């Protein structure tokens, strides 16, 4: 089995990165999970329909109870959390229960949060099904839900027993969702010293074709980078902030779009804004923007986005939980070298927007 070890917060767990689900039961055996354990599968309505036969197979083998909630970011709220709590209580969930999260980032965050709080903490397993969750959110321990239009404002840090990644799930992913995941991949190419940016430039067609060898490599590369970062700063007090590159502006874009703009695409646009700010404040070469914009064009990203209400955009990023009485950005000094917690004022942000994603040329 192709695995990666994640070490953080006095916890060590495996991430299995596979072409299919053939080794899932080996992973269960490695982690001493038996069919006598009380196992609950939690997913969303879309994943449940797509992978019903797989879910039914697990249900039979481990005598699982299955619960699914409505698919979509708008359901990442306390009502969904409460529904899962009720389901677990009604089915005699206890401190020895195990939750299995099958789905994208919303499912992973919600189930991780429930696991961290139910009975003061029970075990859970992550089976991410989207590219954005496979390259990023499936590790790191950040779990939670949205409240009053604030993303992930309620949450905790809580690690899974293990994570099982099957790149076969990506074959059924809609193009927009796949592209959203590539936004996070490019982020890792910008914030860490690695070969990802060059690899994407030279092999973008393989990436668009979802070739297995390419996917296995980039998933391991991204998760390996993130594992190194969170090992040193699990609670996000310092260097882990680099993972927020592009995310501050992205949050404002998501709010302005009423969350219709997919997260990874918002991050991709947010990175362009952050690069423009980096040019002004850190003398970053303008060649970086041109290079990334060229990659976006090859992959099919949008590079422009009309913001109708700049006040709403600024309001959203000023209320971002990552800020503390000032708007903080992660900026680039050079490829692979970031400056964290850089204070940026409203005028600088608006200028960067008008010179990047909101420019009219």
Report the alpha-carbon distance of residue 42 to residue 236 in Å, rounded: 27
**For residue 41, which phi and psi values (nearest 5 degrees)?**
-95, 125
**Was domain 3-172 assigned CATH 3.40.50.1980?**
no
Report the alpha-carbon distance of residue 225 to residue 189 in Å, rounded: 10
Q: What is the full per-residue pLDDT of the chain (361 aa) written as tens digits?
A: 768 999 987 889 999 999 999 999 999 999 999 888 899 999 999 999 999 999 999 999 999 999 999 999 899 999 999 999 999 999 999 999 999 999 999 999 999 999 999 999 999 999 999 999 999 999 999 999 999 877 889 999 999 999 999 999 999 999 999 999 999 999 999 999 889 999 999 999 999 999 999 999 999 999 999 999 999 999 998 999 999 999 999 999 999 998 899 999 999 999 999 999 999 999 999 999 999 999 999 999 999 999 999 999 999 898 765 555 579 999 999 999 999 999 999 999 999 999 999 998 7
Comparing C-alpha atoms, which of 177, 215, 208, 183 is closest to residue 20?
215
Token digits for 145?
A: 């839900």
CATH superfamily of this structure's domain 175-354: Dehydroquinate synthase-like - alpha domain (1.20.1090.10)
Q: How many CB atoms sit inside 10 A of residue 284's CB?
A: 22
- Alpha helices, DSSP H, located in 94-136: 105-117, 131-132
- CATH 3.40.50.1970 residue ranges for the chain: 3-172
Report the alpha-carbon distance of residue 300 to residue 175 in Å, rounded: 10
- CATH 1.20.1090.10 residue ranges for the chain: 175-354
């Amino acid at each position: 089995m192709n695995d990666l070890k994640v070490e953080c917060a006095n916890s060590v767990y495996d991430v299995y990165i596979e072409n299919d689900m053939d080794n899932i039961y080996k992973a269960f055996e490695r982690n001493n999970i038996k069919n006598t354990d009380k196992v609950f599968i939690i997913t969303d309505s879309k994943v449940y329909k797509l992978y019903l036969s797989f879910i039914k197979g697990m249900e039979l083998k481990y005598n699982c109870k299955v619960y699914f909630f409505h698919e979509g970011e708008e359901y990442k709220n306390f009502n969904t959390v409460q529904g899962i709590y009720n389901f677990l209580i009604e089915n005699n969930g206890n401190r020895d229960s195990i939750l299995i999260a099958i789905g994208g980032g919303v499912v992973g965050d919600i189930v991780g949060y429930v696991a961290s709080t139910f009975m003061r903490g029970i075990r859970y397993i992550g089976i991410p099904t989207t590219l954005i969750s496979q390259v990023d959110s499936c590790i790191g321990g950040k779990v939670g839900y949205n409240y009053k239009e604030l993303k992930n404002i309620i949450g905790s840090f809580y690690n899974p027993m293990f994570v099982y990644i099957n790149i076969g799930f990506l074959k059924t992913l809609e193009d927009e969702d796949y592209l959203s995941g590539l936004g996070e991949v490019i982020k890792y190419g910008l914030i860490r010293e690695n070969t990802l940016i060059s690899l994407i430039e030279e092999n973008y067609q393989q990436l668009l074709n979802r070739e297995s060898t390419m996917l296995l490599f980039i998933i391991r590369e991204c998760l390996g980078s993130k594992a190194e970062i969170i090992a040193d700063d699990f609670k996000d007090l310092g260097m882990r902030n680099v993972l927020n590159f592009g995310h501050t502006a992205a949050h404002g874009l998501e709010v302005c779009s009423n969350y219709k703009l997919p997260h990874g695409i918002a991050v991709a646009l947010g990175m362009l804004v952050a690069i423009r700010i980096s040019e002004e404040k850190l003398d970053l070469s303008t060649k970086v923007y041109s290079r990334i914009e060229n990659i976006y064009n090859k992959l099919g990203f949008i590079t422009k986005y009309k913001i109708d209400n700049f006040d709403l955009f600024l309001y959203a990023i000023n209320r971002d939980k990552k800020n503390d009485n000032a708007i903080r950005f992660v900026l680039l000094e050079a490829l692979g070298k970031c400056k964290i917690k850089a204070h940026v004022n409203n005028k600088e942000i608006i200028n960067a927007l008008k010179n990047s994603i909101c420019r009219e040329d």
